[in-house]
């Protein structure tokens, strides 16, 4: 963990202090992903299968979510695990139903000219669920349930298989809770490519989708980026790469809790990044000691240690400067462990999700609070938000005009069209308003 004093850094030093791990944008990652997307574009399912066998260790497999598979998965888990998953799913559903956008009322800007916004679900969503070393079934809930609430008719969910080629039973139950009819065991850039171009596979077809969702490692994040650049291609939700957490703490913070939160994100991935920004040197020392003490007996300690090599302990002058540092970084997750955490939220302008106060563990948001944990990384929070029901929808403006309205507004529109040199536009307005050129 690198210890830094913000006040002693020049502009270049501050940029370096808040830089993401360089390996997230390695040239070899960019080139490998490009090769995979090009191969799938040319060869379809044959290329998807080839790369799946190389990187996943197994060909793509479709798991049907049937009463039989669900019963088998449920039997493989403890009843308390099944109940916890169901409660989490219900909380996600309740939150997204409550925040689903609604069509607006008609707005009359000119007598006889009325307009409104209407919301419609997208046609097909591709949902990438990280897996492999850890089955992140929570990410399936956080994507598939908002998509269902939005009314998306085609939801394609993919996740890497376990090392033995199987799927965790909790992933099956999560798919069932989200109302999916199938789950594809397929990971990495090849999964993104399959959803970008569509693929015919031994177990069935993966259709090309309209928008890609979900977090992933550097290869998945790069694949989404390249897929969105394909001419006539699809949209993506946001940059959602390796996890990030920034904690703002003061002398009132509990070092044990802060350390636990930092480690909870560091254990995700070697490319995950955690930062502590604090105005109190003793608290920084205490958190560093607590991290070291808690690290040794973690099952994923090696991953956490690799992540901590890119961690930062940043001392600032005061809370205002701490918030400015956080807003410049734009973290995926922001934890406010300060005396007046609620009031501090007003100072935050860039974060994917904010966890307020002592009891708001980021882990609660990861699993069961309700809002989706699929959030922008790599500074994306400065301009983007996390997944909501609206992420799976589009808006259309709907305009209705009476003869009276055309008579009033037509000449205005026609004059402005001619001012821009667009005569055909002007004539189309004139014909409605009865005006002559």
Q: Taking Cα atoms as reference points, which of 353, 331, 12 lies closest to residue 322? A: 331
Q: Rounded to an integer, what distance in angstroms lies between the CA atom of residue 42 and that of residue 46?
A: 10
Burial pattern 138-177, b for ≥16 Cβ within 10 A else e, equals bbbbbbbbbbbbbebeebbbbbbbbeeeebbbbbbbbbbb
Beta-sheet pairing, 235-236 with 353-356:
unpaired
**Assigned token pair, 414:** 């026609």
Contacting residues for 81 by C-beta, under 8 A, at least 6 apart? 170
Q: Rounded to an integer, what distance in angstroms lies between the CA atom of residue 390 and that of residue 395?
A: 9
How many H helices and E strands in the chain? Answer: 17, 17
Burial pattern 99-108, b for ≥16 Cβ within 10 A else e, equals ebeeeeeeee
Q: Rounded to an integer, what distance in angstroms lies between the CA atom of residue 332 and that of residue 237?
A: 14
Phi, psi of 21 (to 5 degrees): -55, 130
Q: Rounded to an integer, what distance in angstroms lies between the CA atom of residue 125 and that of residue 144?
A: 9
Catalytic residues: 332-333
Inter-helix orientation angle 79-98/169-177, to 10°: 30
Q: Taking Cα atoms as reference points, which of 246, 242, 248 lies closest to residue 311? A: 246
The helix/strand/coil state of 236 is: strand
Q: Rounded to an integer, what distance in angstroms lies between the CA atom of residue 247 and that of residue 233?
A: 37
């Amino acid at each position: 963990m690198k210890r830094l004093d913000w006040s002693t850094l020049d502009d270049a030093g501050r940029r370096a202090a808040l830089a993401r791990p360089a390996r997230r944008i390695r040239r070899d990652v960019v080139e490998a992903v490009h090769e995979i997307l090009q191969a799938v574009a040319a060869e379809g399912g044959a290329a998807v299968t080839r790369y799946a066998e190389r990187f996943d260790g197994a060909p793509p497999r479709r798991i049907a979510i049937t009463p039989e598979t669900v019963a088998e998965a449920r039997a493989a888990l403890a009843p308390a695990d099944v109940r916890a998953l169901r409660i989490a799913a219900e909380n996600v559903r309740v939150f997204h139903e409550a925040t689903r956008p609604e069509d607006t009322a008609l707005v009359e800007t000119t007598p006889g000219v009325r307009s409104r916004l209407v919301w419609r679900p997208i046609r097909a969503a591709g949902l990438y669920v990280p897996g492999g070393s850890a089955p992140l079934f929570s990410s399936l809930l956080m994507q598939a349930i908002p998509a269902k609430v939005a009314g998306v008719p085609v939801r394609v969910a993919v996740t890497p298989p376990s090392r033995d080629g199987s799927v965790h039973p909790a992933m099956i139950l999560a798919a069932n809770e989200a109302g999916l009819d199938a789950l594809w065991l397929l990971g990495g850039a090849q999964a993104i490519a399959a959803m970008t171009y569509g693929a015919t596979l031994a177990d069935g077809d993966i259709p090309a989708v309209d928008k890609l969702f979900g977090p992933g490692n550097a290869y998945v994040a790069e694949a989404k980026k390249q897929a969105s650049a394909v001419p006539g291609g699809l949209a993506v939700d946001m940059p959602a790469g390796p996890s990030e957490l920034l904690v703002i703490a003061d002398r009132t913070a509990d070092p044990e809790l802060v350390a636990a939160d930092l480690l909870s994100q560091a254990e995700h991935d070697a490319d995950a990044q955690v930062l502590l920004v604090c105005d109190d040197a003793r608290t920084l020392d205490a958190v560093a000691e607590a991290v070291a003490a808690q690290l040794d007996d973690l099952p994923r300690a090696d991953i956490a240690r690799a992540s901590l090599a890119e961690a930062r302990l940043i001392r600032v002058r005061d809370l205002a400067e701490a918030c400015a540092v956080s807003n410049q970084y734009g973290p995926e997750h922001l934890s406010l462990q300060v005396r007046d955490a609620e009031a501090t939220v007003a100072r935050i302008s860039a974060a994917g999700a904010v966890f307020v106060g002592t009891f708001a563990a980021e882990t609660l948001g990861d699993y069961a609070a309700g809002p989706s944990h699929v959030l922008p990384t790599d500074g994306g929070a400065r301009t983007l938000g996390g997944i909501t029901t609206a992420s799976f929808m589009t808006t259309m403006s709907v305009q209705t005009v009476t003869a009276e309205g055309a008579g009033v507004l037509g000449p205005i529109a026609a004059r402005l069209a001619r001012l821009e040199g667009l005569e055909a536009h002007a004539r189309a307005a004139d014909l409605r308003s009865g005006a002559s050129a």
